[in-house]
Structures are given as C-alpha cells and as structure tokens.
Chains A and B, each alone.
Chain A
Amino acid sequence: MTGTVPGPAPTFLGLPTAPRGVGHLRGDEPFPDAARTALRDGQLRANLGHATSTIRAKRATVVGEVPDWEQLRAAGKALKAATMARLDEHLLELETRVTERGGTVHWARDAREANEIVTRLVQATGTHEVVKVKSMATQEIGLNEALEAAGVDVFETDLAELIVQLGQDKPSHILVPAIHKNRAEIREIFLRTMPSVDADLTDEPRRLAMAARAHLRERFLRARVAISGANFAVAETGTLAVVESEGNGRMCLTLPQTLVTVMGIEKVVPTWRDLEVFLQLLPRSSTGERMNPYTTTWAGVTPGDGPQEFHLVLLDNGRTAVLADEVGREALHCIRCSACLNVCPVYERAGGHAYGSVYPGPIGAVLSPQLTGVEDNASLPYASSLCGACYDVCPVAIDIPSILVHLRAEHVEAQQRPTPEGVAFRALAKVMADPRRWRLAQRAARAGRLLARGRPTLPAMPPPLSGWTRSRDLPTPPAETFTQAWVREHGS
C-alpha cells in the first residue's frame, strides 16, 4: 500500500506529518476555489447562516450563566499546556492503567497504521460489520474506507453521520455534520437508502429521527464490534470519556462484545479532577447546553457491564509534528467543541466542505496545515480574516489568529523566494511592530487586504467574501512573536 505517493516533506525537527494518499486532511482544490463554489450554493449558505446564528445564541446564553467561566477557561488552557509538556509520561500512565483494567493499548504512527490495526482487530472477531459512533479521529484517518476495502460493513450511527453516509456525502460541520442538508433532502435520502422505511415518511424532523431509530435499532442489538473515538482519556485512572446526545454512543459503548476506541494522543488529560473543568467547558461551548444528554465514561473492562474486550488505539498522524512547533502546538489543545466555526464569518459563508479537511473552520485552518505540513494545505492559513472571534469563544483560549499569522509566515518562508506575498508580510510585520501605525491600520481596517494582496485568489473572491477584508477588525497584534520570527527568518 505504501510507496506510490511521495510523502510530504518532514517538518521541523524531521518529525513526519500525516501521510498523503490516506485519510481526509487534504482537499481536492485550494480553499478559495472551493469557497467560490460553495458561495454559489444559496441553500447551503442559508442553512449555515441559520445553524451558526442559532447555536451562537444558545452558547452565549448558557456561557453567560456561569459566573466563573473565565477561570474555567484559563484552567482549561493551563491544563492542556501542562499536559502537552509531559505528553509522553501521561500516555505511558494511561497505557498502564488501561492495561491493568483489562484493556489493550495499541500505538499507531499514522493513519495507515491505525487503519491496519483496527481492521486486524475487527477481522479477529470474525464479524463483517461494525457500528460506529461519530469520531473526528476515525474520519481523519479514513477508517471507514479502509474497513470497507477489507470487506467490513461500517454503520455510522450518529444521525447526521448516517445522513452523510447514506447520501454518500461529506460532513460539513464538526457538531452538526449534515447541516448542509435540509429536511426534504434528508427524507429523499432515507426513502432511497433505508430498505424497510415507511413509504409515507414525511419530512418532519421527528419522523425522520424515528426512521433512523428504527433503521439502527436492530443493528445495535446484533453488533459484535463497535468503534468509537474519545473526548478525553484520564491518565491516572485509565478512564475514557465520550460526550454525546442521541444515545447512539451509549449503544455502541455498551452493547457489543468488543469495543475499539481510536484516539489522538493529544486527548489525554492527567487527572480525573481535570474533567471537572472540561465537562463544564465542552457542552456549553458545543451544543449550547448546560450538559449534553449523555456522557459515558469507562475504564478498561467491567465484568457483566458493557464490552468484555476493549482496545485503545493511540494515534499520532502528524500530531508530534504539531507538538514540535512552539507556537502551533496550541492547536492540539482543541476539544472539538466547534464554537469557533459558529462565530467565523468565513466559515459561515464558505461552509465546511471548502476547507477540504475533516477539520473545518478556524481550528481546521490552523490544525490541518500543521498535520499535513503547510505545503499540502497552503491556502488554509489564509482562510480567515483574523477577526479574533474564534479566540474569544474558544473554551480553552487557543490563540488561533496568532497561529494563522505564524503559519502564513512559515508558508511564505517555505517558498524561499521573494514573492509579492513576502513583500506584503514584510509590510505587515513593520506595521505590527509599530504601535501607532498598527492602530492606524486597525482603524482603517486595511491590514487584511494588505495580507491578501500577494494572493491572486483571495481578492478575486466575489461578495460577500470580499467583505471580510473590508470590514474586519484585526485582533490585538501578536506583534512580538510574529515580528521576532520574521526578523529571525528574513532579517529586518
């Protein structure tokens, strides 16, 4: 399977990025081209606008209820930074605890290896079908395709993922992956693909949800193997946690004999107590609920309750390359709440598919290019107006705008020649270095245009995308980091 596609250049310190030719971290076309296509889709824009504004409002209400939100947010950020600084030790502790509790831990260098491990584990059970609960990591590595190639039928059980799978489509949002489909389209997909569906099915959401319930019920009851992701894994206790709404997660985590969980290595947290922070931050930021309907936690195997065989696959796939970048590593703190998508003016207009990766929106713009190496997702760091809204809502306070600027500099440097873009960056660096000029630039809100000048694609975008650069305020400039880096890399 290897060898046909040249790997991306190793980054910084020689750590390998996610391999090409497997998984879903790279799009078929650069962001501006894909965004242009999306902008022509009025239905998509209307759905997205409705979705993002509704979730934004819910989030704001429930976050406003919490008097110590900023303290929780600061604790979340500090916990993630502390975890990354000792990542190897926490993973080893997690491995020990999970093993003590009857689980088996596997390590995967990349997508291909993870897919091979999971395929082998499934085949060893003798089954030809698995039920699956929505997981970003397994989408990232293209696990469904790998299993299907090995003759295993994969049933996505999250309603939105089911819609996406049955429609042979791609997810477009982390939290509500089928948000680009309306009820009439969903009804049509169900009528076409669910063998035993009632022909009188209407497009009422309740009826559609009940059709999905009926479709999956029997599969849950007969499934022998389930595959999940994990939101958190506690090193000191070996406890895994999955946060969900529909109960499909509970079905997968409770009923089958064998459970295989695939988890990015950055999901570990050191102590049980740390969950008191994240279980407050995540639901309010994500669905805008005080708490999501269901959270399941388990440690290894419990006799008489749930799967009696448990495998945990720890996945690198470019994460260590991200960890090597002192600025960019903050992207590994992400708890996948999707709040940054919902506030992003670019995401709201372009939609999730334009990002080409399973990680869309602001977090995708900083995570995907780092996982793949910036040359493989070169347009993504520009898929932002640097307005700073993503940073403000992020429950773990990831400074996405600063990472974007950092990656743009890295991309420019990678090109190793004086481009118009390089000139624009040089000018921006100057402006950022001078507080008076920076304020002027902010007032005039022209810095975005300055940034984009070197890229023929960005200014060519039709309205309303052209509006970002006209009307966005830039965040407080990350002047120090950026300027210092610039001077170091290019001279002043």
Chain B
Amino acid sequence: MTSARDEVLTRIRTALGDGRATPADVARDYRQADDRSPGDPALLDLLVDRLEDYKASVLRCGPGDVAATVARALDDGLGTGWAAAGVLAAPGVPVEWRPDGAAADDGRPPGQLADVAASVTGVAVAIAETGTLVLDGTPLSGRRALSLLPDCLVCVVEAAQVVGTVPEALRRLDPVRPLTMISGPSATSDIELERVEGVHGPRTLLVVVVTT
C-alpha cells in the first residue's frame, strides 16, 4: 500500500505536470531597511508612540537607572508597595537591571509561574514601525512561559536593539529559536468588536527604553 506521504507527493507532481514552470524570481523591491540606523532617536520616538498606541506604558532612562526605572514601572503595573518576592527576572537579565530583591527565574515548573505577579525580561530586537518587541528564548529574554503567565510583564529595551522595519528585525533573529513577537498586551475584539486589553497573556505590558 502506498503511504500517505508518497501519495500526496505524487498528487502534487501530477497536479503540477511534467513541464512545470520555473518560478519567476520574486522581486523584493519593498523596503529592506529604514533610512535611520538602529537606535536613532527618531526610531525610539516612533517605537514609543506605537507601543503607547497599543496601550503599553513606556518609561525611558539612562543606562545607570535601569533598576530604578523597572521599579517605577512595577509601581505602575502592580501598584506601589509590591513585594519583590513576586517579581521574577529572566536569568540573563543583568543584576543592575533588577529591582532589589527580585530573583532570577530558577527553572521551576511552568505552572508555578502563574503565581508570580510580574516578570522582567530583556528583548532580542524591537521594531519601531510596528511597536513590536521580540523575545528569543535566550537567557536575556527568558523562556516563553516567563513572559506569558505572570499578569504583568516588564521588558527592557536597549536603544541599539531598536530597528525600523520588520525585514531588519527578522535578519537579526535566529529562526530555530522559539520566538515571541509582542505588540502590546494581549487583546480581544471578539465581543461586538470592542477591544479589551489583556485576555490570557499579561494584562499589563510595561516597557523600559534605555537610551545612552
């Protein structure tokens, strides 16, 4: 008996026929990159504008103030008086970025991350034009469950990671890593098209942009 695999492949070959056309070259005459180079102040402004348009909150700071700014973001997201024990950072997030008392992800079973109030991660790249942060599963971004289960997510973006366009971002990413592209908090418009922010993913997205 022929296997399904062989049969489907044979069907495809039959459908295409013997004299199948050589596919025409694909003209990639769309924009390959923004005119502005990564980290350009105008790109940062654009990123912030797009993030805020999607109801993310954005704070900016210099390289020396990251931990304090993350703490301020958490004031926003969790309310002042939050407990550092409820905040977990991706393992590769530098200690200087972590608010006092926040621990690094210890690889606990993913289900337990649902009890964590907030998580702090870095990103692999950010796309200004679409307001997108990309996490790539490296220690800086953390595993996927870490940016998913806690209800509040703080992402720290460094200026040099901000590119203008989607093609530039994809070129910087490793396609075999598990990637998560995040544009605003989770949302639904399924009920009478009224947008509700925050369904299953974090209901609050806070972004700290580090400028030099």
Contact = CB atoms under 8 A, between A and B. Distances in A.
A78 B183 contact: no
B8 A265 contact: yes
A84 B13 CA distance: 11
B14 A176 contact: no
Contacts of B122: none
Interface in B7-39: 7-9, 11-16, 20-31
B70 to A, nearest CB: 22
A293 B191 contact: no
A323 B193 contact: no
Interface in A218-243: 220-221, 234, 237-239
Interface string B154-196: 0000000000001100110001111111111111111111101
B40 to A, nearest CB: 18
Interface string B109-136: 0110010000000000001011110000
B9 A91 contact: yes
Contact of A212 (B137, B192, B199): B199
A297 B179 contact: yes
A82 B28 CA distance: 13
Q: Give the interface residue-count category, chain B.
A: 35 or more
B15 to A, nearest CB: 4
Nearest to A292: B183
Contact of A250 (B13, B148, B176, B189): B148
Contacts of B28: 75
A81 to B, nearest CB: 6
Interface residues of A, number: 101
B197 to A, nearest CB: 9
Specify the main secondary structure of chain B where it touches its partner.
loop
Specify the main secondary structure of chain A where it touches its partner.
helix
Contact of A209 (B145, B166, B179, B191): B191
B193 A54 contact: yes
A191 to B, nearest CB: 15
Interface string A65-87: 00110011011001101111111
A437 interface: no
B12 A295 contact: no
A312 interface: no
A290 interface: yes
Interface of B: 3-5, 7-9, 11-16, 20-31, 50, 54, 107, 110-111, 114, 127, 129-132, 137, 143-145, 148, 166-167, 170-171, 175-194, 196, 198-202
Interface of A: 13-16, 47, 50-51, 54-55, 67-68, 71-72, 74-75, 78-79, 81-88, 91-92, 101, 106-109, 113, 157-160, 163, 176-179, 182-183, 186, 205-206, 208-209, 212-213, 216-217, 220-221, 234, 237-239, 245-248, 250-251, 253-255, 265, 272-273, 275-277, 279-280, 283, 287, 289-300, 302, 304-306, 314, 316, 320-321, 323-324, 329
10 contacts: A13-B15, A75-B30, A176-B190, A178-B190, A183-B191, A205-B196, A250-B200, A272-B170, A296-B144, A299-B176
